[in-house]
Structure 1
């Protein structure tokens, strides 16, 4: 099942993991005592950055526009949010 996923999608997925962790920690620091708000802000930023990068590729012609690349980054970012939250809470 996982061997059918294109290699470039895996790159986006693995880049999304540290992005999610960093954004979760940054959001938790910005909104102490509000873990839900911090998580929602981090998720919103992950979505904006992931899709924004693809839009940048489309508009400038630098790179290849593919919505599924953004989806892979977002999934990785969501997974990365958990260790980010655990690091901040520890």
Structure 2
């Protein structure tokens, strides 16, 4: 099964998004990595699906739930990489 090119773009954009959101969540909840990760995951899901919902409501672009899923998966990878770096640093 071949994955469409635009899905890969959403995946690659999700990685830095997840990383940035994880760093921000770490500073919001510095002592609790689990709470920070849950907060970051909620933000990644909200941003990813919110962007697709915005496309649907405004008619700019096209609404595709699989794009949101690709962004969420990329965001989870970015979060995981950032968590690994944060745990190694501290």
Q: Tell me if TM exceeds 0.5.
A: yes
Matches for 1:38-77 after TM superposition, within 5 Å: 38-77=36-75
Aligned pairs, number:
88
Q: Give the Cα–Cα distance (whole angstroms) in 1 for the partners of residues 23 and 70 of structure 2.
A: 21
Please tell me whether the aligned partners of residues 20 and 46 of structure 1 are also in contact (alpha carbons under 8 angstroms): yes
Partner residue in 2 for 1:26: 24
Task: Report the RMSD for the aligned CA atoms in angstroms.
Answer: 0.9
- Unaligned regions of 5+ residues in structure 1, if any? none
So what's the TM-score if we normalise by structure 1? 0.93
Structure 1 segments, 4+ long, off by >4 Å, are none
So what's the TM-score if we normalise by structure 2? 0.93
- Unaligned regions of 5+ residues in structure 2, if any? none
Q: Alignment partner of 2:63: what SS?
A: coil
Instruction: For residue 84 of structure 1, report the CA deviation from its aligned partner.
Output: 1.6
